[in-house]
Structure 1
Amino acid sequence: MKQFVSVPFEEMSLSRSDTSKAGKAEKPPWYRRPGLIATGAVFAVVGGVYVVAMPFVTPAFRRICLPFVPATDQQVKNVFKLLQGRKGSLVDLGSGDGRLVFEAAKQGFHSTGYELNLWLVWYSKMAARRRGLHKMASFYRRDLWKTDLSNYDQVVIFGVTQMMEPLKDKLSNELKVGGQVVACRFPFTDLTPIAAIEEGIDSAWLYDRTSFQPAEKHSKS
């Protein structure tokens, strides 16, 4: 007669689970899978490049593109040659890395920089504090077309050809009495400057409020 040996239910369950585990290969942890790590690294790099580059690329998609091209030392010098003897407030439209605003603050102007590139605004703010100029130099992320310029004694613009005509219309309405404008690289072609320094790419032109008035109105005055 055959004899049957009873096996506890718990032992049967364990033996079955052990058998099923033995039939399956264990997956290594994620940090031991080079393919997964490489994919994650690629996405991280692409995401980082996107975040950093977009503030520099997006101006090209605007109606009027004003790219970041740092001013030369000579350009900055020429601006303040034209503003010699002037004081008060100064605004740089498209302030970039803040170099002109810093020089204005050193020369006693209450200076402001407007810039659309968020990274450049942050950089300029940190640089102003590092140089001890943060009480005289302020930076804001702002669209110059949506900004009221009537409170500034000096307006500086490193412009491009296609923006000068609409900017002329804006300044003719907003430039305060006694205010002056320095245009760098490109002049207002149909306006007569009150002073100019013509040195190729470092050229600068100075205009006052009367420069922006219609010819017939100017002649009456």
Structure 2
Amino acid sequence: MASKALVAESPAPLAQGSPEEPSRRRQWGLLATGAVGGVLVALYAVVTPFLVPALRKVCLPFVPATSAQIQNVLKMLQGRSGSLADIGSGDGRVVIAAAKMGFKAVGYELNPWLVWYSRYRAWRDGVHHNTKFYISDLWKVSFSHYTNVVIFGVPQMMPQLEKKLKEELESNARIIACRFPFPCWIPDHTTGEGIDTVWAYDLKSPRGSESKCLETTPAAES
């Protein structure tokens, strides 16, 4: 009799189709949906800064500079002084290398993750006092107060950037282009080979101001 009483007091298992079973399924479904949603939001936050530049009409993708490219840029900066701007500074390696040479160097980069990483690298290398990094679109920045400008560009942007820099920079400025030269300017100095080639343009030099682009003018009326 005692055993029967114990069995009678034990809770009966939930019958299939009972009201509590769908409730538990809904709870697990809500938890799974929340977890997936959280992962998607996190991925969006991480990936968006990398994708947004690529969706622009003229993008400047992040491709880390090689050691040879850095050395060639530093060669073009020998004997130079003043401030330096790196357009599309990426992970900050050009800015940091220039700061170690004594330049007050500034990097402009659209990707906030790369900017934060650049600031960390500058602090780690002990040159954070001579460097600054800004989250900024290069087309919305004036480079008029810089005497040295470095650019790792892409062919689609070089003509427009050439015009922008010519309008903004002073006559003593030097522009250093990496990977791709400017379409109209004739470089004053060139070093490196292949993808490590670097071109330097001095705006004060008459040869550096020459243009290989032919400008057409309307014919005079007879």
Shorter-chain TM-score: which interval? 0.7 to 0.9
List aligned pairs for 1:150-169, cutoff 5 A: 150-169=144-163
C-alpha separation in 1, matches of 2:69 and 2:38: 39
1:144 equivalent among 122, 138, 148: 138
1:176 CA drift (Å): 1.3
Structure 1 or 2, whichever has the larger Rg, is 1
1:89 equivalent among 75, 83, 90: 83
TM score, norm. by length of structure 2: 0.79
The answer to whether the 8 Å contact 2:185/2:210 transfers is: no
Secondary structure of 2:91 counterpart: coil
CA RMSD of aligned residues (A): 2.0
The answer to whether the 8 Å contact 2:69/2:197 transfers is: yes
The answer to whether the 8 Å contact 1:168/1:212 transfers is: no
2:209 equivalent among 204, 210, 213: 213
User: Which amino acid letter does the alignment assign opposite residue 114 of structure 2?
Assistant: L
Percent of aligned pairs with the same amino acid: 52
List aligned pairs for 1:12-161, cutoff 5 A: 25=20, 34-161=28-155
Stretches of structure 2 lacking an aligned partner (at least 5 in a row):
1-17, 212-222
Secondary structure of 1:92 counterpart: strand
Secondary structure of 1:135 counterpart: helix
C-alpha separation in 2, matches of 1:198 and 1:132: 29
- Name the CA shift for 1:162/1:24 in 2 (closer, same or farther; >3 Å): closer
The answer to whether the 8 Å contact 2:186/2:210 transfers is: no
C-alpha separation in 1, matches of 2:40 and 2:176: 40
Aligned length: 191
Give the corresponding residue for 1:3: none
Secondary structure of 2:102 counterpart: coil
Show structure 1 runs of 4+ deviating over 6 A: none
1:29 CA drift (Å): 11
1:190 equivalent among 168, 181, 184: 184
User: Which amino acid letter does the alignment assign opposite residue 115 of structure 1?
Assistant: E
